[in-house]
A and B are shown apart, each in its own frame.
Chain A
Amino acid sequence: MTDRDMEQKLRSEAKALLEQGKVDGIIGFEDGSLKFTTTPLITSDKDDTSRLVINPFIVNNLSVYLTEVKGRVGIVAKGCDSRSIVSLLQDTKVAREDVVILGVPCRGIIDLGKVEKLVGKDRDEIDDITRDGDRVVVTVSGKEREFPIQEVLFDNCLGCELPTPQEYDILLGEPTLPASSGDKLVSQEKVNRLKEMTPEQRWEFWGGEFDRCIRCYACRNVCPACFCERCFVEETEPPWLLAVPRWQDNLLFQAVRNIHVAGRCTDCGECERACPVNIPLRSLTREMYGIVDELFHYQAGMDKDASPFLAAYEATDTGDFIR
């Protein structure tokens, strides 16, 4: 089943859902204003459903809008997005009956930055990018160039454990197989390199990275797991953090954010993609995901009936660090 087929199915299903009054709105993707981009489409108008798209550029994790949009909604979700939805269900931020999940069996999302680097051209100079099975065909000034798909996918798509949503109402295509386990190493590499450093070196590494942070909070705003109505960084009486250009303050914000979303964060990578100054935030989320998995054998967003990680305990939880 091609993206085109899924797109057709999505449009008709979304239209039917709205017409039959099964949902009040649809959250999906439409073509973006720039080449090779998509932008979220949130609509309650059935005529807008013809603008819905499925292609290798549907990058955003739309589940972040679930806590904002009122009423019953239909939402387009890739495997990773569905895990974020499950996480929201666990936290009772969203009721299962209020969401119709239009599941997309995903074959990976293309990182435009990687394509640009590969062909040495900017987005505007590229005529076409087409996925063809395990290959990607990039057309630049009439000439076609082929690359293995792995070379252009986002890091967190490589070694994806759940390309097809586990939790869905309508599946738009045949399930895709999880990527081969060897690919997981790609995402783990950066983390491992950091772990080999001394603590002192790590602190300095983060210093170098968070020196650039402008505290725009884009990472928090795109994060489906960051759903506090009032974030601690906005507390002013007294303030937890000042708006000062100090990297330690920036790092403190991100560290606390990561701890707060432990067991909710599915390492979807939206924070890193949203970061305007390219801080490798996934090196933090990936490790937090690993810590929760290693210590408590808990993977975020896998089981909607499981208790939220931080709102649960086991009598056998590790306590070997306690005096």
Chain B
Amino acid sequence: MSEWEPKLLGFLCKWCSYAGADLAGTSRKKYPANIRVIRVPCSGRVDPLFILKALHLGFDGVLVSGCHPGDCHYQTGNYYARRRMAVTRKFLEYMGINPQRLQVSWVSASEGGKFTEVVTEVTKELRELGPNRLFSHDRQGHGTKATQ
């Protein structure tokens, strides 16, 4: 069997990070092929449900990438995303999910280089973190029994 490779799901804003990824490609920059990309109209489109569902499906990490503060195509979408992601990360941690599995970045359309860096770094960190087995089928919960 080949060596385990982390799988990263990226939600990229079409106005910035998605174009940033394009730029990285057309500039012939190299970044790990571990990221699978879903294009979203805005980082504010990303419901925390998407993140939990991605982890549930077996992704080892999720990257939400949008426009820098002040640069949102819709003026404020990324600000809502910031608040939502802050709360989600904290809550994941409390559930027992390593918050490192949810990464957020601001990458503009001209930052092909930064996109390359972010994906490289996140992939490296996920590799160190190991596979996400939280939602594995064979995993039994065995905490305390019925509590009042």
Contacts and interface: CB of A to CB of B under 8 A. Distances in A.
A208 B48 contact: no
A252 B52 contact: yes
Contact of A252 (B56, B84, B94, B139): B56
A95 interface: no
Contacts of B94: 194-195, 202, 284, 287, 291
A203 B97 contact: yes
B15 interface: no
Contacts of A256: 48-49, 52
A40 interface: no
A291 B83 CA distance: 11
Report, as a range, how many residues of chain A touch the other chain. 35 or more
Interface stretch (A10-18, A139-147, A158-166, A315-323): A315-323
A226 to B, nearest CB: 14
B53 A321 contact: no
Contact of B141 (A206, A296, A311, A317): A206
B106 A323 contact: yes
B70 to A, nearest CB: 9
A283 to B, nearest CB: 9
Interface string A198-219: 0111111111111110000000
Given A204-B143, A252-B52, A317 B79 contact: yes
Interface residues of B, number: 46
B89 interface: yes
A284 B89 CA distance: 14
Contacts, number: 137
Interface string A284-309: 10011001100110000000000001
Contacts of B49: 232, 240, 256, 259-260
Interface of B: 48-49, 52-53, 56, 69, 76, 79-80, 82-99, 103-106, 118, 121, 134-135, 137, 139-148
Interface of A: 113, 194-195, 199-212, 232, 240, 246-249, 251-252, 255-256, 258-260, 262, 277-278, 280, 284, 287-288, 291-292, 295-296, 309-313, 315, 317-319, 321-323
25 contacts: A199-B97, A200-B96, A201-B96, A203-B97, A205-B144, A207-B139, A207-B140, A207-B143, A208-B142, A208-B144, A208-B145, A252-B56, A255-B91, A255-B92, A255-B95, A258-B91, A259-B49, A278-B148, A288-B87, A291-B94, A295-B87, A310-B80, A317-B82, A317-B83, A321-B85
